[in-house]
Amino acid sequence: MIDIGIIGGSGYTGGELIRLLLQHPKVRIRTVTSRRLAGIPVTDVHRHLTGLTDLDFATPDPSIASACEVVFTAVPHGAAMNIVPELLAGGTCVIDLSADYRLPQQVFEDTYKRQHTDPRDGGAVFGLPELHPEVAEANLVANPGCYPTGAILSAAPLASEGSIEYAIFDSKSGVSGAGVDPSTTSHYPNIAENVRAYNITAHRHLPEIVQELNRLDRSLNNIYLTPHVVPAIRGILTTAHLILNREQDYDTALGLYTEFYKDKPFVRVRDKIPTLSDVRGSNFCDIGIACGGRRVVAVSAIDNLVKGASGQAVQNMNRMFGLPETAGLLTPPLSP
């Protein structure tokens, strides 16, 4: 059994890590920390897990590095960089769910408007395992953002061919993406029966998308992201409006996507357009496409808390520890 620790266990990604790891046949959760809730049973916060775990929240403690083979850091952006160096120095592997290690220092600082205190450009692997098999050798994985996961996977096959001229990602996210703390945006009367576009031209997840698509096609310049919040708890549906430099027929495109993801157990390329309920609660990314002239519309559906966060983190862990990629992660989606 692999001993694991979770730093920052009181939020949604922390709760999902616990939910998923409780079902994992090869791990043992040693500690879940929360500075604010230390001493409180985990199930006082994550009530749905009552009876499934006896853990109390612990105070974060340097000894976690020696007690755990891998530590998940599920803390706010800017906080991880203060924790990770010590963890790595202590000899444990780290999978960081914050944004702190996803981008080169300069891009990070421009995007998040703060100084990076632990720049290690090239020292962390971007944890999108479908495109980064090198996570298997990493000791620090930067788990991608939720929007980038759905957006990058929807466009990668065509980007890798160098055929995209414009990539316009119109994303529709569930409200849980904004976290566990109440806010005006998450106030039920403000989002029920509603759709809200925000950070229309400058969402801070855009640089991750640009970085990864440019790894596949260095000449792809026109990459845009417009996120929306929709009345759903979980899920991101990304509608990728891709304008190509050539005509594209459907069968060829479907073949391209199918081939590109043929050994990727969590990407299900389908001849139907996916919806959020196809993947709810699961680590799948479902993709369907439509074609017309030089235009391809690729639609991807993920659960933002699973493939967009904690499930992907477990998938990375599986790769890092030589386990089957799907270990503990094949729980079927919950539909309807």
Region 286-305 residues binding a second copy, contact defined as CB under 8 A: 286, 290-292, 295, 297, 299
Told to check if 41 binds a second copy by CB under 8 A, we report no
Q: Among the candidate windows 98-106, 135-143, 313-321, 328-336, which touches a second copy by CB under 8 A?
A: 328-336
Q: Among the candidate windows 58-66, 74-82, 120-128, 196-204, which touches a second copy by CB under 8 A?
A: 196-204
Q: Among the candidate windows 26-34, 80-88, 193-201, 317-325, which touches a second copy by CB under 8 A?
A: 193-201
Told to check if 48 binds a second copy by CB under 8 A, we report yes
Backbone angles phi, psi at 129, to 5 degrees: -65, -25
Residue closer to a second copy (CB basis): 84 or 158 = 158
> 38, 40, 50, 134: which one contacts a second copy (CB under 8 A)?
50
Told to check if 112 binds a second copy by CB under 8 A, we report no
- 146, 302 Cβ separation under 8 angstroms: yes
Told to check if 54 binds a second copy by CB under 8 A, we report no
- 17, 40 Cβ separation under 8 angstroms: no
Residue closer to a second copy (CB basis): 52 or 79 = 52
Told to check if 215 binds a second copy by CB under 8 A, we report no
Angle at 290 between CA 284 and CA 292, to 5 degrees: 160
Instruction: Report which of 305, 250, 300, 308 is spatially closest to residue 275, judged by C-alpha positions.
Output: 300
Angle at 317 between CA 136 and CA 299, to 5 degrees: 90
> 51, 54, 219, 322: which one contacts a second copy (CB under 8 A)?
51
146 part of the active site:
yes
Told to check if 330 binds a second copy by CB under 8 A, we report yes
> 112, 166, 214, 215: which one contacts a second copy (CB under 8 A)?
166
Angle at 115 between CA 114 and CA 116, to 5 degrees: 120
Backbone angles phi, psi at 134, to 5 degrees: -70, -5
Cα–Cα distance list, 31 to 54, 120, 213, 314, 325 (Å): 11, 27, 36, 16, 23
230-289 residues in contact with a second copy (CB under 8 A) are 230-235, 237, 239, 241, 243, 265, 268, 270, 272-282, 284, 286
Residue closer to a second copy (CB basis): 170 or 208 = 170
Told to check if 24 binds a second copy by CB under 8 A, we report no
Q: How many CA atoms lie within 13 A of 111 on its CB side?
A: 24
Instruction: Report which of 308, 327, 332, 270 is spatially closest to residue 97, judged by C-alpha positions.
Output: 308
> 67, 109, 214, 224: which one contacts a second copy (CB under 8 A)?
224
Cβ-based neighbours of 204, under 8 Å, separated by 6 or more? 99, 111, 112
Residue closer to a second copy (CB basis): 122 or 336 = 336
Told to check if 28 binds a second copy by CB under 8 A, we report no
Exposed/middle/buried for residue 243 (C-beta within 10 Å: 0-12, 13-18, 19+): middle
> 197, 249, 252, 255: which one contacts a second copy (CB under 8 A)?
197
Please count the residues of this chain forming the interface with a second copy, following the rule CB under 8 A.
83
DSSP secondary structure letters along 232-271: -SS-EEEEEEEEESS---HHHHHHHHHHHTTT-TTEEE-S
**Rounded Cα gap, residues 43 and 32, in angstroms:** 12
Query: Which of 93, 146, 285, 291 is labelled catalytic?
Result: 146
Residue closer to a second copy (CB basis): 79 or 243 = 243
Told to check if 307 binds a second copy by CB under 8 A, we report no
> 100, 170, 208, 212: which one contacts a second copy (CB under 8 A)?
170
Hey, which residues are catalytic here?
A: 146
